[in-house]
Amino acid sequence: MYSFAPDAGMSKPELYRALTEAAEAITAGEPDGVANMANVAALIWQFLPELNWAGFYRVVDSGLVLGPFAGKPACIRIALGQGVCGVAAALAETQLVPDVHAFPGHIACDAASRSELVVPVMREGRVLAVIDLDSPVLARFDEEDAAGIEALARVVASAI
């Protein structure tokens, strides 16, 4: 049994440090990328408040394909350059979207989503996947969240 959990009253940087350490611990020594993404999606869901979706899209051939996640069933395939995830993957750049309704081409998998953070997972200059977080709260994510998920993505990069 695993018992990773955030402590009450942690600051945002502390929360992300704890999340990243938990991800490092849970993926250590496990070569199966799907299992590791599944556990990391579950950790994100457990550690971060105010989410309605958290998970992975993997780069397969020349598009994104749904990977392990927590939340409602989601769109399976996204073309590179389409939606927030496709733009993050195509540009290899984090996308911090305070209001998804203002993002041209946003793909609404869950009508409850109001803000979104998408971070590429990179290895040797290539985008392997993206981590996608959705929130029902407008402007839920800030630069600290982006930095925290980017740190998590560096751990994930060697585990998938």
In the chain, beta strands by DSSP E? 53-60, 63-71, 77-79, 95-97, 115-123, 126-135
Q: Which of 40, 67, 121, 134 binds ligand SME (CB under 6 A)?
A: 134
Paired strand residues for 70: 54
Bridge partner list, 65: 58, 77
Please give the Cα distance from 130 to 93 (Å, whole number).
10
Identify which range of 7-15, 36-44, 104-112, 138-146 contacts ligand SME by CB under 6 A. 104-112
The residue whose Cβ lies closest to ligand SME is: 83
Please, which residue, 72 or 123, has the CB nearer to ligand SME? 72
Binding segment for ligand SME (CB under 6 A), chosen from 1-9, 24-32, 36-44, 80-88, is 80-88
The reply on whether position 80 binds ligand SME by CB under 6 A is no
Kind plus residue range of the DSSP H or E element containing 43 = helix 33-47
Using CB under 6 A as the criterion, which residues of the chain lie in contact with ligand SME when the complex forms? 53, 74-75, 78, 83-86, 106-107, 109, 113, 116, 132, 134
